[in-house]
Homo-oligomer: A and B are copies of this chain.
Amino acid sequence: MMPGKTDSGVATPGRRERNKLAKRARIVAAARDLFRRQGFADTTTQQIADAADIGTGTLFLYARAKEDLLVMVFRDEMLETVRAIFAAPPALAGLDARLLAVFNRMADYHANDPDLARLLLKELVVPRSEARRSDVDELMDAIYDGLTDMIGAEPRIRNPAIVARSAFALYYFALLSWLGAGQDRGWCMRLLREQLSHLINGDSAND
A205 contacts the other chain (Cβ, under 8 Å)? yes
Is the beta-carbon distance between B168 and A181 smaller than 8 angstroms? no
Q: In the assembly, how many copies of this chain are there?
A: 2
A161 contacts the other chain (Cβ, under 8 Å)? yes
Instruction: For chain A, residues 59 to 93, give those with C-beta under 8 angstroms from any C-beta of chain B.
Output: none
List the one stretch of A9-17, A18-26, A99-107, A121-129 in contact with chain B.
A121-129
Residue contacts A-B, CB under 8 angstroms, 5 given: A126-B175, A168-B175, A184-B205, A184-B206, A187-B205
CB contact between A181 and one of B128, B164, B207 (< 8 Å): that residue: B164
Distance between Cα atoms of A187 and B206 in the complex (Å): 7
Mask, A137-174, CB within 8 Å of B = 1, is 00000000000000000000000110010001000100
Is the beta-carbon distance between B206 and A179 smaller than 8 angstroms? no
A190 to chain B: closest residue by CB: B207
CB contact between A175 and one of B164, B175, B205 (< 8 Å): that residue: B164
Given A115-B128, A118-B126, CB of A164 within 8 Å of CB of B187 = no
Contacts of A39 in B (CB 8 A): none
A191 to chain B: closest residue by CB: B191
Is the beta-carbon distance between B181 and A161 smaller than 8 angstroms? yes
Contacts of A206 in B (CB 8 A): 183-184, 186-187
